[in-house]
Structure 1
Amino acid sequence: MTHPTAIERLADWICGLQHSDIPASVRAIATNCLLDTIGVAFAGSATAVARTARAIAVDAGSRGDAAIVGGPQLLSAPAAAFVNGASAHALDFDDNCYAGFMHGSAVIAPAAIAVAQKRNASGSDLLTAFIVGSECEYAVGAATNSILYDQGWWTTGVLGPVGACAAAAWLLKLDRKQTASALGLAVAGTGGLKACFGTDAKPLMAGRAAEAGVVAALLAAQGASGPHDAFEHWNGFTGLFNHGEFNIAMIAQLGSHWFLESPGVDLKRIPLCLSSHAAVDAAMAIVARHGILVDEIEEILCDVPQIVFANLIYNKPATRQEAQFSMPFAVAVSLLYGTVELAHLDGAVLQEPRVIALMQRITMTVGPRWSLAGACEAAPEGANMQIKAAGRDWVEGFQAYARGAAQCPMRQEEIEDKFLKCVAEGNRDGGSNAALLLSRLKAIDTLPSVRDLLTTV
């Protein structure tokens, strides 16, 4: 008896899932993910890299039914997924998930929205498709046991097409064989290197991952075949990407375990790589608790897991992208300004003498605590912070998860305030109706059509 492949198991679950099968708690999480992603996409649409993606797509003349943030054009579903995916990840302000260590929503949401608009689908169908894509991508991410990420692959680029394709396949109502072929096409053509960190390649690759997933589903809808054994094949994903390991039990859990709930999705409070957030929270808490003045700080030591040390590679950032992957920048600006906002990513802040001086006093290291059994699992991007101020002894504090993480969520009003600020950031010339868009997104499950969703603003 032949056992179904991982892709065939995914296809079975995708084709069998109905909106009524999804718990209300999962739909609520997904609604906030969509809301947050669309907000950061509006903010990101004002960046140079998003304008470049938009110009390329418009120049290609790929007209269709799908809207893009930052422009009035209606593009084909693949082109819109690319543009909106690049915008959603342009500021690195979008959500993360520890199932595979990846940015999920910035790839899945643009793909789902584009195909939903192409199909003139309802809000309920869009939300269901987004959940389908999220659960499939995170299940595959969990099945990698983080080997993929630890090897240097950028999981968002590698696995993003899986989530985007799953969402698109559900909306297109592909049958089991077509869905498996679509996923096979998505997996067989995937790729992404962490060498992209700190460059325009990162958001552009997020957009390309969204586009690739949509294209794979559309190709399968037209009869194109793909390898149903793309994970198990001797020249497939598991052997080439993941040292021969793949925990199929994670795929088998679909529908009984919801990855959107556990490990959950981390929404970002500040527009920096999530690896810096727990350290920022710990440093801010120490300074407040001990009444330390920032000008008195002589030295800050950040003891972090290896993954944080490997991600935050810029000790002397020179650009916005480098600053977003810099522990000294994250901690220094947070202490000096009380937070990190989009405005602080302006190049002028990087040149401020007090910012430069404080960054020079911040050191990041990987201490022995992270070699203890279970330490990294309990605090994947945690931080133990020590601060030495003039005339004082060293003081320290530990933060396992940043505020905004699934284990330490932001309040709903904070999520919505972030959304409104992000939409305003992307509409500096006026004409914004962010409050109306917010209300529509909060009621996404009841919208009769999403055709005009992104043109509200």
Structure 2
Amino acid sequence: MSFEPVADFILGAPTIPDTALDMGATLLLDTIGIAAAANVMPAGRIARDHVVNFHAAASKENAARLMFDGRSASIPGAAFAAATQIDNFDGHDGYNPTKGHIGCAVVPALFAFAEPRPDLSARDALVALVIAYEVSARAAITLHATVSDYHTSGAWNALGVAALAARLMDMSPDRLRHAMGIAEYHGPRSQMMREIANPSMLHDGSGMGALVGSMSALLARDGFTGAPAITAEGDEATPFWADLGQDWTVEKNYIKPYPICRWAHGALDALASILHDHAFSAHDVASIEVSTFAESAALAPGMPDSSERAQYSLPFPLAVLLLYGKIGPGHITGTGLSDPRVAEILPRISVREEPRHSVRFPSGRWSDVSVTLFNGDSFHSGDVNARGGPEAPMALGEVKEKFRTMTAALTQDRAEALWQMRERMMDPEMPFSALAGLVAPAI
């Protein structure tokens, strides 16, 4: 596969439809909201302290402020810290065919590489972000189609980060090619199901994806060479890149209603539909039976002992939803992890794999749920696909309400000013620094 059309797309002037740019702006603000909500979580704090102590920049032009922190680190360090922070609060966007997440790496990279470019317009920043989404998506799909292991998002969103950085630094096609080659070679090809079996702060590998992608672009700019990225120009990659610049996958990303692994969302939405249609309380429930796809069935059972296990669980968020009708940051952190009412419900929930749901993964996240009450009444959801994607998108009002919930720690004026930036991103006269100035100060 020739690299020339890929380079032309990344470095040139692709005609991006307004619908794709508008979706890019919505995903950007949604991701900013998740970064704010994740600010207090241990993983984000550790990552921020780490880069301040060990990834400092020697000069101002190589430094970037950390999101919602106020301190600075090197550009790769800032990207790593924010991506790790966002990745460890599982409410960020994703794209079904990638089996993972793009925004959690490319949004932090955008803020980091924009820092020394005060003249960057909001619209140009948005164009770079959409391009990064498109590159990441195709690198992911190619990787999944050509290797046997299921790798974390960091293995392929590193290429999107490298592409974004190369565009913002106005690199040559040759340097871009090396940047993407370095990013692919050093990208964290970590096995996703290992993390599912042992939930930790490693999460989906996007922190390292952002770090590697950022470093790769900067190394390539300085003359470091890399082997061609197989997922971008190998012969097997050709069919997955043929529609670049024609099919705008950014428009097909989902926005999560719950800060929980997407694999659990089909079951959560199925239970929500039953709760909507029938009047009963959590104490009326004798049992909840969940049929789901294999990866979802592998999510952690029991009462979680960490936020990571809470986010990579299926029974736990179902119990939370049953009790409270919603799942917010407080349910998956702190005292929410030892809620005795949730613990009481968990033994009533059983999960099994259903082959018909498994064959529809990753194009969908299907589940069905049956609820039986102590009085003998029984309700069945039917097959439900997780909402939030193009098949059942969240209304913009819902996305805004989610943003308000996620930015509750900010002042109301700051949160509202941030949300208003969603529409202003299309304005070529607005500097991106206006948005960055709202994101950088500490909470």
| Partner deviation per Cα, 1:189-220 (whole Å, 9 max, x = no partner) | 112232334211226x3222112111111111
Residue correspondence of structure 1 range 263-302 to structure 2 within 5 A: 264-302=252-290
TM-score, normalised with respect to structure 1: 0.87
Name the counterpart of 2:430.
448
In structure 2, the CA distance between the partners of 1:147 and 1:390, relative to structure 1 (3 Å rule), is: farther
The reply on whether 1:30 has 2:24 as its aligned counterpart is yes
Contact 1:314 1:325 in 2 (8 A): no
Contact kept, 8 Å, 1:77 with 1:118, in 2: the verdict is no
Question: 2:29 matched to 1:17?
Answer: no
- Looking at structure 1, the residues matched to 275 and 33 of structure 2 have their Cα atoms a distance apart, in angstroms, of 31
SS in 2 for 1:202: coil
Q: 1:41 aligned to 2:40?
A: no
Cross-structure match for 1:91: 89
CA contact (8 A) 2:367 2:383 kept: yes
Match of 1:151 among 145, 149, 166: 149
Distance 1:455 1:413 in 2: 25
The residue number in structure 2 matching 1:199 is 200
Indicate the SS of the match to 1:75: strand
* Counterpart check, 1:187 vs 2:184: yes
Contact 1:164/1:214 (CA < 8 Å) preserved in 2? yes
Post-superposition shift, 1:273? 0.6
Whole-angstrom CA distance in 2 between matches of 1:122 and 1:278: 39
SS at match of 1:266: coil
Paired letter, 1:385:
V
SS of 1:118's equivalent in the other structure is coil
Q: Deviations over 1:76-125 (max 9, x none)?
A: 32121112112222211111111311111010111122112222211111
Q: How many angstroms does 1:39 deviate by? A: 1.1
Query: Which secondary structure does the structure 1 equivalent of 2:326 belong to?
Result: coil
Which position in structure 1 is the counterpart of 2:212?
212
Which residue pairs with 1:433 in the alignment?
414
Q: Which runs of 5+ in 1 are unaligned?
A: 239-244
Greater displacement, 362-371 / 327-336: 362-371
Corresponding residue SS for 1:299: strand
Distance 1:54 1:442 in 2: 30
Local SS of the residue matching 2:301: coil
Equivalent residue, structure 1, for 2:309: 322
* Structure 2 Cα separation of the partners of residues 81 and 338 of structure 1: 35
Name the CA shift for 1:145/1:47 in 2 (closer, same or farther; >3 Å). Answer: closer
List gaps (5 residues or longer) in structure 2.
none
* Residue identity in the other structure for 1:434: A
Equivalent residue, structure 2, for 1:102: 100
**Given the superposition, is the C-alpha separation of residues 152 and 33 from structure 1 closer, same or farther in structure 2, using an over 3 Å criterion?**
same
For 2:146 and 2:297, locate their aligned partners in 1 and report how far apart those are by CA, in whole Å.
Answer: 17
CA shift at 1:414, angstroms?
Answer: 1.6
Aligned counterparts of 1:44 and 1:440: Cα–Cα separation in 2:
20
The residue number in structure 1 matching 2:112 is 114
Deviation at 1:413, TM superposition (A): 1.6
AA aligned to 2:349 is: I
Does the 8 A contact of 1:184 with 1:228 survive in 2? yes
- The reply on whether 1:336 has 2:323 as its aligned counterpart is yes
* C-alpha separation in 1, matches of 2:18 and 2:253: 16
1:402-434, Cα deviation, whole Å (9 max, x unpaired): 232232111112212222322223x4xx59611
Which amino acid is 2:225 matched to? S
What secondary structure, in the 3-state scheme, does the structure 2 residue paired with 1:318 have?
coil
4+ long deviations beyond 3 Å: 144-148, 229-233, 374-378
Q: Is the Cα contact below 8 Å between 1:133 and 1:167 reproduced in 2? A: yes
Q: How does 1:21-420 map to 2 (within 5 A)?
A: 21-60=15-54, 61-62=56-57, 64=60, 65-120=63-118, 121-145=120-144, 151-154=149-152, 156-191=153-188, 192-194=190-192, 195-197=194-196, 198-202=199-203, 205-228=205-228, 230-231=230-231, 246-261=236-251, 264-310=252-298, 312-370=299-357, 375-376=360-361, 380-420=364-404
Deviation at 1:399, TM superposition (A): 4.4
Kindly indicate whether the alpha-carbon contact (under 8 Å) linking 2:102 and 2:157 is maintained by their aligned counterparts in 1: yes
Q: Could you tell me whether the CA contact under 8 Å between 1:95 and 1:103 is conserved in 2?
A: yes
Equivalent residues of 2:11, 2:173 under 8 A apart = yes
CA RMSD of aligned residues (A): 2.3
Please list the CA deviations of residues 376-419 of structure 1 after superposition, one character each: whole Å capped at 9, or x if unmatched: 466x2111111111122432113432232232111112212222
In the TM superposition, residue 14 of structure 1 has moved relative to its aligned partner by 1.3
- What amino acid maps onto 1:249 in structure 2? P
The whole-number CA distance in structure 1 between the counterparts of 2:392 and 2:70 is: 38
The number of aligned residues is 429
Deviations 1:121-179 (A, max 9, x none): 1111110111111001101222345565x73421x121120111111111111111111
Q: Distance in 1 between matches of 2:256 and 2:98?
A: 17
Supply the distance in 1 between the matched residues of 2:218 and 2:276 (Cα, whole angstroms).
54
- How far 1:246 moved relative to its partner? 3.8
Give the AA of the match of 1:297. V
Given that 1:116 and 1:122 are in contact with CA atoms closer than 8 Å, whether structure 2 keeps it comes out as: no
**Given that residues 285 and 372 in structure 2 are in contact (C-alpha distance below 8 angstroms), is that contact kept between their aligned partners in structure 1?**
yes
Query: In the TM superposition, what is the alpha-carbon distance from 1:327 to its structure 2 partner?
Result: 0.9
* Corresponding letter in the other structure for 1:36: D
Identity of aligned residues (%): 26
Q: Is the 8 A contact 2:368 2:383 kept in 1?
A: yes
Distance 2:356 2:104 in 1: 33
> 1:99, 1:139 within 8 Å by CA — same for their partners in 2?
no
Change (3 A) 1:206 1:342: same
SS of the counterpart of 1:153?
coil
